[in-house]
Amino acid sequence: MFKKRFLIILVTVLALVLIGVSIPVIIINWPETSDDPNNHDYYQELTEFKFTISEIPLSTTSAILRYPSPILAEYIKQETFGPEGGTTYMAYIFRPVTDNVQMGLLIPMGAADTIAMVAGEEYKIEYQTRYGFPDGYSLYFLTIQKNAKIILLGLSDWTINYEFHLSDFLPIQVSQTRVLSDHYIDGNFGWLRMTNTEIMFVLDGESTKLYQGQSAVLGDYQITLLEAREIEYDPKAYDAGQKSISYVIYRNN
């Protein structure tokens, strides 16, 4: 039913584009479900956004502490790293302008595989983390900027509703607008149920609503919602923290 509705919307959008009608917001995919018997039309997550900043040689267990945020650095190249701990990473290699050493920004493959950067140019990297159990962090927040414009914004957190007022780029509002009570998966190991949620993004006066697994083009930006779910925890569990939201925003030009 949902896929049929999406195909109708897609055909309509394409027809409008062909006759010259401007469509500022385009949802470019539909989320996948699973054949798992515990899955009740639950839209599947994509790879969660997180990061490690490592000196060379690369490692996900040793973060750079002597380069506090923000970091101004020259971009060198992109390569793959791993697998380490069962995960393969995209490694974006930089050289901080204050030092001659190289550092790597490591992001799990599938979360942010293509960041539009030019070798030899300088970028501003800002990041924030907050400690949480069980994976070490309850918040990952990172931006890469060039000439006061977003190249990449990535966030994963236990908290869903956000409004950014960062001086270097556009205000971004992120809020949960609906819980999809008929789209859920039953679980164990600390959580009892995950239920899909609908998330609204507002950038520069334009808005779109997405489910996890969906992407949309919104003006000059592409948004991919990696995770968006309401989580019911087992009250007996003390180490079952999961992210409620994870997404990346890229600038298209």
The string of DSSP codes covering 118-141 is -TT-EEEEEEEEEEETTTEEEEEE
DSSP string, 60-99: SS----SSPSSEEEEEEEEEEEEEETTEEEEEEEEEETT-
Q: Please determine, for residue 20, whether its predicted confidence score (pLDDT) is greater than 90.
A: no
Q: Give the per-residue pLDDT at 164.
A: 53
- Residue 12's DSSP bridge partners are none
* Banded pLDDT at 223 (limits 50, 70, 90): very high
What pLDDT was estimated at residue 3? 44
- pLDDT (tens digit, 9 = 90+) per residue, 39-66? 889 999 999 999 999 888 898 876 666 6
8 Å CB contact between 36 and 44: no
Mean pLDDT of 189-214: 90
Place of tokens 């385009």: 26
User: Residue 135 has which token pair?
Assistant: 């994976």
Together in a domain, 51 and 111: yes
pLDDT in the model for residue 17? 43
**Model confidence, pTM:** 0.84
Q: What is the pLDDT of residue 159?
A: 75
For residues 82 and 104, state if they share a domain.
yes
pLDDT, tens digit, 9 for 90 and up, residues 158-179:
877 665 544 455 678 888 999 9
Count of structural domains, the chain: 2
Domain span at residue 7 reads 1-25
Distance of CA 18 to the CA centre of its chain: 31
Are 14 and 138 in the same domain? no
Q: Are residues 8 and 59 in the same domain?
A: no
Query: Which position has the higher pLDDT, 84 or 164?
Result: 84
User: Stretch 177-202: mean pLDDT, rounded?
Assistant: 90
* pLDDT band per the 50, 70, 90 thresholds, residue 4: very low
**Residue 11: which pLDDT band, with cuts at 50, 70 and 90?**
very low
Same domain, 9 and 44: no
CB atoms within 10 A of CB 166: 13
Higher pLDDT, 23 or 84: 84
Sign of CA dihedral 225, 230, 235, 236: negative
As a whole number of angstroms, the distance between CA 46 and CA 48 comes to: 6
- Reading the block at residue 102, the tokens are 């190289």
Q: What is the pLDDT of residue 88?
A: 96
Q: Within this chain, do residues 77 and 103 fall inside the same structural domain, yes or no?
A: yes
- Tell me what the mean pLDDT of segment 108-120 comes to: 94
Say if residues 191 and 231 touch (Cβ distance below 8 Å).
Answer: yes
Exposure string of 107-135, with b = 16+ CB inside 10 Å and e = fewer, is: bbbebbeebebeeeeebbbebebeeeeee
Compute the distance between CA of residue 202 and CA of residue 204 in angstroms, rounded to an integer: 7
Q: Are 71 and 109 contained in the same domain?
A: yes
How far is 92 from 166, CA to CA, in rounded Å?
24
Domain identity same for 181 and 230? yes
Amino acid at 218: L
